[in-house]
């Protein structure tokens, strides 16, 4: 596995990452990591690789866009001094364009999204061992659905930034698409965004597979 001994792994993002984690520090006992994919990743790491002592921290905040991440980056990422950093952001950047179409100051259009994500990665990549970039997603099989189509465009930006900045890349949309061959969207997320336990397990598996988790260990 790519994660090595005594590494600090920090996850940052929006509500999908947050999942009612403890504030201000999403770390420790009593579901401090929240109830989502971050806690599942941590549980698998502790159960399978206890000897590595990997420290997991959750810095997701519900409703965040990449603009919000930029505003809190110094405190919630740089000052935390992680060894590994996982970023999943973009759902609200897209969603606000659809559920709040007339409140344009809340919209983060794709040029700003790409510029800001690139800036954050460039600012941080020399301070960490690895950055993992996870795409935003919309749990909808119809690629012509307006929000799904827009989300795919933002996902392509994430892939491009990962390639240019030599980051690990996770296509979460592809992970959900595979499961949707047998499960309807509502069986994974009632609003096609906020996953149930099945959906969060899909995200956790995608992350663990990318870091070389040994499922036979």
Q: What is the pLDDT of residues 176-212, one digit of tens each?
A: 999 999 999 999 999 999 999 999 999 999 999 999 9
In the chain, which stretches have pLDDT less than 70?
none
In a domain, 215, yes or no: no
Q: What confidence score (pLDDT) does residue 33 get?
A: 97
166 is catalytic: no
The Cα 15–Cα 64 span in angstroms is 7
Q: What confidence score (pLDDT) does residue 211 get?
A: 96
Give the active site residue among 14, 15, 39, 86: 15
In a domain, 3, yes or no: no
Q: For the chain, what's the residue count?
A: 217
99 is catalytic: no
Give the active site residue among 14, 39, 93, 194: 194
In a domain, 184, yes or no: yes
In a domain, 217, yes or no: no
Q: What confidence score (pLDDT) does residue 99 get?
A: 87
Task: List, edge to edge, every strand of the sheet that includes 168-170.
Answer: 55-58, 8-13, 84-88, 130-134, 168-170
In a domain, 216, yes or no: no
The Cα 112–Cα 20 span in angstroms is 28
In a domain, 2, yes or no: no
- Three-state secondary structure call for residue 162: helix
Q: How many domains, the chain?
A: 1
Q: What confidence score (pLDDT) does residue 7 get?
A: 97
191 is catalytic: yes
Alpha helices in the chain (DSSP H): 15-18, 37-48, 66-76, 91-99, 110-124, 146-165, 172-179, 197-210
Containing structural domain, residue 68: 8-210
Give the active site residue among 99, 100, 166, 191: 191
Q: What confidence score (pLDDT) does residue 89 get?
A: 98
The Cα 193–Cα 91 span in angstroms is 8
Label the pairing between strands 55-58 and 168-170: unpaired
In a domain, 138, yes or no: yes
The answer to whether the CB of 52 falls within 8 A of the CB of 6 is yes
- Domain of residue 84, CATH code: 3.40.50.1110
In a domain, 171, yes or no: yes
Q: What confidence score (pLDDT) does residue 217 get?
A: 85
């Amino acid at each position: 596995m790519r994660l090595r001994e005594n590494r600090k792994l920090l996850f940052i993002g929006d509500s999908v990452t947050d999942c009612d984690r403890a504030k201000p520090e999403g770390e420790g006992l009593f579901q401090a990591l929240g109830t989502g994919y971050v806690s599942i990743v941590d549980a698998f790491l502790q159960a399978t690789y206890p000897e590595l002592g990997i420290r997991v921290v959750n810095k997701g905040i519900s409703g965040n866009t990449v603009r919000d991440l930029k505003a809190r980056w110094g405190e919630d990422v740089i000052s935390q001094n992680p060894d590994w950093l996982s970023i999943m952001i973009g759902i609200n950047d897209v969603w606000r364009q659809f559920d709040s179409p007339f409140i344009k100051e809340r919209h983060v259009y794709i040029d700003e999204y790409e510029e800001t994500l690139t800036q954050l990665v460039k600012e941080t990549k020399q301070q960490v061992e690895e950055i993992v970039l996870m795409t935003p997603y919309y749990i909808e099989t119809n690629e012509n659905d307006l929000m799904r189509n827009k989300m795919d465009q933002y996902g392509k930006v994430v892939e491009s930034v990962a390639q240019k900045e030599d980051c690990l890349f996770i296509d979460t949309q592809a992970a959900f698409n595979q499961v949707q061959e047998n499960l309807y969207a509502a069986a994974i997320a009632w609003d096609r965004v906020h996953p149930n336990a099945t959906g969060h397990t899909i995200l956790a598996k995608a992350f663990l597979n990318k870091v070389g988790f040994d499922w036979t260990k």
